[in-house]
Amino acid sequence: MTHLRKMMLEELQRRNYAQTTIRRYIRIVEDFSRRFQRAPNRLGPKHIREYQSELFTKRKFAASTVTVYLAALRFFYTKTLRRAWSTTETPYPKRVFALPTILSQEEVARLIDAARPALHRTLLMTLYATGLRRAELARLKITDVDSQRMIVHVQGGKGRKDRDVMLSPKLLEELRQHWRRLEPKPSQWMFPGNRNHRGDQPITTKVVWHACRNAAKRAGIKKQVHPHTIRHCFATHLLERGADLRSIQMLLGHNDLEQTTIYLHISERHLNATASPLDSLSLKSESPQEE
Protein backbone atom coordinates (compact mmCIF):
# COMPACT_ATOMS: atom_id res chain seq x y z
CA MET A 1 0.00 0.00 0.00
CA THR A 2 1.44 3.36 -1.05
CA HIS A 3 1.80 6.19 1.42
CA LEU A 4 -0.83 8.33 -0.36
CA ARG A 5 -3.31 5.45 -0.53
CA LYS A 6 -2.84 4.78 3.16
CA MET A 7 -3.36 8.46 3.98
CA MET A 8 -6.58 8.61 1.97
CA LEU A 9 -7.85 5.36 3.47
CA GLU A 10 -7.26 6.66 6.99
CA GLU A 11 -9.09 9.93 6.22
CA LEU A 12 -12.09 8.04 4.81
CA GLN A 13 -12.21 5.65 7.77
CA ARG A 14 -11.81 8.48 10.26
CA ARG A 15 -14.92 10.11 8.84
CA ASN A 16 -16.79 6.78 9.00
CA TYR A 17 -17.48 6.52 5.26
CA ALA A 18 -19.22 3.35 4.09
CA GLN A 19 -16.95 0.55 2.87
CA THR A 20 -18.47 0.71 -0.61
CA THR A 21 -17.71 4.44 -0.81
CA ILE A 22 -14.17 3.91 0.48
CA ARG A 23 -13.42 1.29 -2.14
CA ARG A 24 -14.91 3.36 -4.94
CA TYR A 25 -13.13 6.60 -4.00
CA ILE A 26 -9.75 4.85 -3.81
CA ARG A 27 -10.33 3.13 -7.18
CA ILE A 28 -11.19 6.46 -8.77
CA VAL A 29 -8.03 8.18 -7.53
CA GLU A 30 -5.96 5.20 -8.71
CA ASP A 31 -7.63 5.41 -12.13
CA PHE A 32 -6.88 9.14 -12.28
CA SER A 33 -3.24 8.48 -11.46
CA ARG A 34 -2.92 5.73 -14.09
CA ARG A 35 -4.42 7.99 -16.76
CA PHE A 36 -1.48 10.40 -16.48
CA GLN A 37 1.13 7.86 -15.30
CA ARG A 38 2.01 10.08 -12.35
CA ALA A 39 1.39 10.12 -8.62
CA PRO A 40 -1.90 11.98 -7.91
CA ASN A 41 -0.17 14.50 -5.63
CA ARG A 42 1.82 15.64 -8.69
CA LEU A 43 -1.34 16.34 -10.69
CA GLY A 44 -3.38 19.52 -10.55
CA PRO A 45 -6.47 21.36 -11.84
CA LYS A 46 -5.35 21.12 -15.47
CA HIS A 47 -5.21 17.34 -15.27
CA ILE A 48 -8.53 17.15 -13.41
CA ARG A 49 -10.25 19.20 -16.13
CA GLU A 50 -8.79 17.01 -18.87
CA TYR A 51 -9.80 13.86 -16.98
CA GLN A 52 -13.34 15.16 -16.42
CA SER A 53 -13.70 15.92 -20.13
CA GLU A 54 -12.57 12.42 -21.08
CA LEU A 55 -15.07 10.84 -18.70
CA PHE A 56 -17.79 12.42 -20.83
CA THR A 57 -16.29 12.28 -24.33
CA LYS A 58 -14.36 8.99 -24.32
CA ARG A 59 -15.93 6.86 -21.60
CA LYS A 60 -19.45 8.20 -22.20
CA PHE A 61 -20.23 8.36 -18.46
CA ALA A 62 -23.48 9.85 -17.22
CA ALA A 63 -23.38 13.19 -15.39
CA SER A 64 -24.20 11.47 -12.09
CA THR A 65 -21.22 9.13 -12.48
CA VAL A 66 -18.87 11.98 -13.32
CA THR A 67 -20.08 13.79 -10.20
CA VAL A 68 -19.01 10.79 -8.08
CA TYR A 69 -15.57 10.80 -9.75
CA LEU A 70 -15.14 14.50 -8.99
CA ALA A 71 -16.30 13.99 -5.40
CA ALA A 72 -13.60 11.34 -4.94
CA LEU A 73 -10.90 13.60 -6.36
CA ARG A 74 -12.13 16.53 -4.31
CA PHE A 75 -11.93 14.43 -1.15
CA PHE A 76 -8.38 13.38 -2.00
CA TYR A 77 -7.15 16.91 -2.62
CA THR A 78 -9.02 18.72 0.15
CA LYS A 79 -9.01 16.13 2.95
CA THR A 80 -5.92 14.03 2.24
CA LEU A 81 -3.56 16.60 0.72
CA ARG A 82 -5.18 19.64 2.41
CA ARG A 83 -5.17 21.60 -0.83
CA ALA A 84 -7.68 24.15 -2.06
CA TRP A 85 -10.35 23.09 -4.54
CA SER A 86 -12.00 25.57 -6.88
CA THR A 87 -15.48 24.70 -8.10
CA THR A 88 -15.06 27.52 -10.61
CA GLU A 89 -12.13 25.75 -12.26
CA THR A 90 -13.62 22.28 -11.83
CA PRO A 91 -17.42 22.61 -11.77
CA TYR A 92 -19.69 19.69 -11.12
CA PRO A 93 -21.63 18.74 -14.26
CA LYS A 94 -25.18 19.91 -14.67
CA ARG A 95 -27.57 17.19 -13.57
CA VAL A 96 -29.87 15.67 -16.15
CA PHE A 97 -33.41 14.94 -15.01
CA ALA A 98 -34.41 11.66 -16.64
CA LEU A 99 -37.45 9.63 -15.76
CA PRO A 100 -36.63 6.03 -14.79
CA THR A 101 -37.68 3.05 -16.88
CA ILE A 102 -40.77 1.34 -15.48
CA LEU A 103 -42.05 -2.14 -16.24
CA SER A 104 -45.72 -3.01 -16.08
CA GLN A 105 -46.78 -5.64 -13.56
CA GLU A 106 -47.18 -8.10 -16.44
CA GLU A 107 -43.59 -7.42 -17.51
CA VAL A 108 -42.34 -7.88 -13.95
CA ALA A 109 -44.11 -11.25 -13.81
CA ARG A 110 -42.48 -12.27 -17.11
CA LEU A 111 -39.11 -11.15 -15.80
CA ILE A 112 -39.38 -13.21 -12.61
CA ASP A 113 -40.73 -16.27 -14.44
CA ALA A 114 -37.82 -16.12 -16.92
CA ALA A 115 -35.14 -16.00 -14.21
CA ARG A 116 -32.65 -18.88 -14.14
CA PRO A 117 -31.30 -20.48 -11.96
CA ALA A 118 -33.64 -20.62 -8.95
CA LEU A 119 -31.42 -18.22 -6.99
CA HIS A 120 -31.96 -15.51 -9.60
CA ARG A 121 -35.73 -15.93 -9.31
CA THR A 122 -35.47 -15.50 -5.53
CA LEU A 123 -33.32 -12.39 -5.93
CA LEU A 124 -35.75 -10.75 -8.36
CA MET A 125 -38.76 -11.59 -6.18
CA THR A 126 -37.01 -10.08 -3.16
CA LEU A 127 -36.14 -6.91 -5.06
CA TYR A 128 -39.71 -6.41 -6.24
CA ALA A 129 -41.33 -7.32 -2.92
CA THR A 130 -39.16 -5.01 -0.81
CA GLY A 131 -37.72 -2.26 -3.03
CA LEU A 132 -34.21 -2.93 -1.71
CA ARG A 133 -31.12 -1.51 -3.35
CA ARG A 134 -28.90 -4.21 -4.84
CA ALA A 135 -26.20 -3.74 -2.17
CA GLU A 136 -28.86 -4.04 0.55
CA LEU A 137 -30.17 -7.21 -1.06
CA ALA A 138 -26.72 -8.77 -1.44
CA ARG A 139 -25.95 -8.24 2.26
CA LEU A 140 -29.31 -9.39 3.60
CA LYS A 141 -28.87 -11.55 6.69
CA ILE A 142 -30.97 -14.51 7.77
CA THR A 143 -31.85 -12.68 10.99
CA ASP A 144 -33.14 -9.70 8.97
CA VAL A 145 -36.19 -11.70 7.92
CA ASP A 146 -38.70 -11.47 10.78
CA SER A 147 -41.52 -13.91 10.01
CA GLN A 148 -43.25 -13.19 13.33
CA ARG A 149 -43.79 -9.52 12.54
CA MET A 150 -43.72 -10.08 8.73
CA ILE A 151 -40.99 -7.48 8.35
CA VAL A 152 -37.61 -7.37 6.62
CA HIS A 153 -34.99 -5.34 8.50
CA VAL A 154 -32.62 -3.34 6.30
CA GLN A 155 -29.44 -2.70 8.24
CA GLY A 156 -26.89 -0.11 7.21
CA GLY A 157 -28.67 1.06 4.08
CA LYS A 158 -27.59 4.08 2.07
CA GLY A 159 -26.45 6.82 4.44
CA ARG A 160 -25.91 4.22 7.19
CA LYS A 161 -29.63 4.19 7.92
CA ASP A 162 -31.69 1.22 9.10
CA ARG A 163 -35.32 0.76 8.08
CA ASP A 164 -38.04 -1.87 7.98
CA VAL A 165 -40.02 -2.98 4.93
CA MET A 166 -42.96 -5.32 4.56
CA LEU A 167 -42.45 -9.08 4.22
CA SER A 168 -44.80 -10.51 1.63
CA PRO A 169 -46.22 -13.98 2.47
CA LYS A 170 -45.36 -15.02 -1.09
CA LEU A 171 -41.77 -13.83 -0.62
CA LEU A 172 -41.53 -15.61 2.75
CA GLU A 173 -42.46 -18.90 1.10
CA GLU A 174 -39.91 -18.28 -1.67
CA LEU A 175 -37.17 -17.56 0.89
CA ARG A 176 -38.04 -20.75 2.74
CA GLN A 177 -37.70 -22.73 -0.48
CA HIS A 178 -34.37 -20.99 -1.12
CA TRP A 179 -33.24 -21.97 2.40
CA ARG A 180 -34.15 -25.60 1.81
CA ARG A 181 -32.02 -25.62 -1.35
CA LEU A 182 -28.89 -24.41 0.46
CA GLU A 183 -26.39 -27.04 1.60
CA PRO A 184 -24.73 -26.58 3.99
CA LYS A 185 -27.01 -24.12 5.75
CA PRO A 186 -25.43 -20.66 6.04
CA SER A 187 -24.93 -19.17 9.48
CA GLN A 188 -25.25 -15.49 8.56
CA TRP A 189 -26.00 -14.47 4.98
CA MET A 190 -29.30 -15.11 3.24
CA PHE A 191 -27.48 -15.25 -0.10
CA PRO A 192 -23.97 -16.65 0.53
CA GLY A 193 -21.42 -16.21 -2.24
CA ASN A 194 -18.59 -18.19 -3.82
CA ARG A 195 -18.94 -21.44 -5.76
CA ASN A 196 -22.18 -23.31 -5.02
CA HIS A 197 -23.01 -20.51 -2.57
CA ARG A 198 -21.12 -22.03 0.31
CA GLY A 199 -18.91 -19.06 1.18
CA ASP A 200 -18.75 -17.13 4.41
CA GLN A 201 -19.25 -13.85 2.49
CA PRO A 202 -22.42 -12.65 0.75
CA ILE A 203 -22.91 -12.59 -3.01
CA THR A 204 -21.57 -9.55 -4.85
CA THR A 205 -23.83 -6.91 -6.34
CA LYS A 206 -22.77 -8.16 -9.80
CA VAL A 207 -24.76 -11.35 -9.17
CA VAL A 208 -27.89 -9.23 -8.65
CA TRP A 209 -27.09 -7.18 -11.76
CA HIS A 210 -26.67 -10.27 -13.97
CA ALA A 211 -29.85 -11.82 -12.57
CA CYS A 212 -31.81 -8.82 -13.87
CA ARG A 213 -30.11 -8.53 -17.24
CA ASN A 214 -30.21 -12.23 -18.05
CA ALA A 215 -33.86 -12.60 -17.05
CA ALA A 216 -34.84 -9.56 -19.14
CA LYS A 217 -33.08 -11.01 -22.17
CA ARG A 218 -34.72 -14.41 -21.68
CA ALA A 219 -38.15 -12.77 -21.22
CA GLY A 220 -37.75 -10.74 -24.41
CA ILE A 221 -38.05 -7.41 -22.59
CA LYS A 222 -36.40 -4.74 -24.74
CA LYS A 223 -36.28 -2.08 -22.03
CA GLN A 224 -33.05 -1.57 -20.09
CA VAL A 225 -33.54 -3.56 -16.89
CA HIS A 226 -31.21 -3.42 -13.89
CA PRO A 227 -31.75 -3.82 -10.13
CA HIS A 228 -32.73 -0.18 -9.62
CA THR A 229 -35.39 -0.57 -12.33
CA ILE A 230 -37.16 -3.09 -10.11
CA ARG A 231 -36.86 -0.71 -7.15
CA HIS A 232 -38.57 1.96 -9.29
CA CYS A 233 -41.28 -0.55 -10.22
CA PHE A 234 -41.84 -1.36 -6.54
CA ALA A 235 -42.44 2.32 -5.73
CA THR A 236 -44.50 3.14 -8.82
CA HIS A 237 -46.78 0.13 -8.49
CA LEU A 238 -47.35 0.90 -4.80
CA LEU A 239 -48.34 4.46 -5.73
CA GLU A 240 -50.70 3.20 -8.43
CA ARG A 241 -52.36 0.92 -5.89
CA GLY A 242 -53.08 3.83 -3.56
CA ALA A 243 -50.09 4.01 -1.20
CA ASP A 244 -49.21 7.54 -0.09
CA LEU A 245 -45.89 9.18 -0.89
CA ARG A 246 -44.80 9.45 2.73
CA SER A 247 -45.15 5.69 3.24
CA ILE A 248 -43.23 5.01 0.03
CA GLN A 249 -40.52 7.42 1.14
CA MET A 250 -40.05 5.48 4.37
CA LEU A 251 -40.00 2.12 2.58
CA LEU A 252 -37.38 3.32 0.10
CA GLY A 253 -35.25 5.02 2.75
CA HIS A 254 -35.26 8.40 1.00
CA ASN A 255 -33.94 11.34 3.01
CA ASP A 256 -36.28 13.84 1.40
CA LEU A 257 -39.86 13.48 0.19
CA GLU A 258 -38.82 15.35 -2.96
CA GLN A 259 -36.80 12.28 -4.01
CA THR A 260 -39.99 10.24 -3.90
CA THR A 261 -42.17 12.66 -5.88
CA ILE A 262 -40.49 11.51 -9.11
CA TYR A 263 -42.93 8.60 -9.09
CA LEU A 264 -45.82 11.03 -9.55
CA HIS A 265 -44.37 11.72 -13.02
CA ILE A 266 -44.54 8.07 -14.08
CA SER A 267 -47.55 6.66 -12.26
CA GLU A 268 -50.29 5.69 -14.73
CA ARG A 269 -52.96 6.37 -12.10
CA HIS A 270 -51.82 9.95 -11.62
CA LEU A 271 -51.20 10.58 -15.31
CA ASN A 272 -54.61 9.24 -16.33
CA ALA A 273 -56.37 11.17 -13.58
CA THR A 274 -55.62 14.44 -15.41
CA ALA A 275 -57.43 14.92 -18.71
CA SER A 276 -55.66 16.43 -21.68
CA PRO A 277 -57.03 19.87 -22.72
CA LEU A 278 -57.55 18.40 -26.19
CA ASP A 279 -60.43 16.34 -24.82
CA SER A 280 -62.43 19.48 -24.00
CA LEU A 281 -62.33 20.91 -27.54
CA SER A 282 -65.31 20.68 -29.89
CA LEU A 283 -63.79 19.45 -33.12
CA LYS A 284 -65.24 18.23 -36.39
CA SER A 285 -65.64 14.49 -36.38
CA GLU A 286 -63.49 14.02 -39.49
CA SER A 287 -60.22 15.48 -40.74
CA PRO A 288 -60.41 17.52 -43.94
CA GLN A 289 -59.60 15.73 -47.19
CA GLU A 290 -56.24 16.44 -48.81
CA GLU A 291 -56.53 18.79 -51.79
User: Distance between alpha carbon 48 and the CA centroid of its chain, in Å?
Assistant: 27
46 is catalytic: no
163 is catalytic: no
Closest by Cα among 230, 144, 238 to 191 = 144
47 is catalytic: no
Q: Is the peptide bond before 277 cis (omega within 30 degrees of 0)?
A: no
Q: What is the CA radius of gyration of the chain?
A: 23
User: Measured between alpha carbons, how far is 25 from 228 in angstroms, rounded to an integer?
Assistant: 21
**Residue 25: CB atoms within 10 Å:** 23
Tell me which of 47, 158, 213, 226 is the catalytic residue: 158
The answer to whether the Cα torsion of 244, 247, 251, 253 is positive or negative is positive
269 is catalytic: no
Tell me which of 121, 134, 139, 231 is the catalytic residue: 231
Tell me which of 79, 218, 228, 270 is the catalytic residue: 228
263 is catalytic: yes
Tell me which of 25, 51, 77, 263 is the catalytic residue: 263
Tell me which of 121, 134, 178, 254 is the catalytic residue: 254
254 is catalytic: yes
Max Cα distance, the chain (Å): 80
Tell me which of 120, 121, 133, 178 is the catalytic residue: 133
Give catalytic residues, as residue numbers: 133, 158, 228, 231, 254, 263
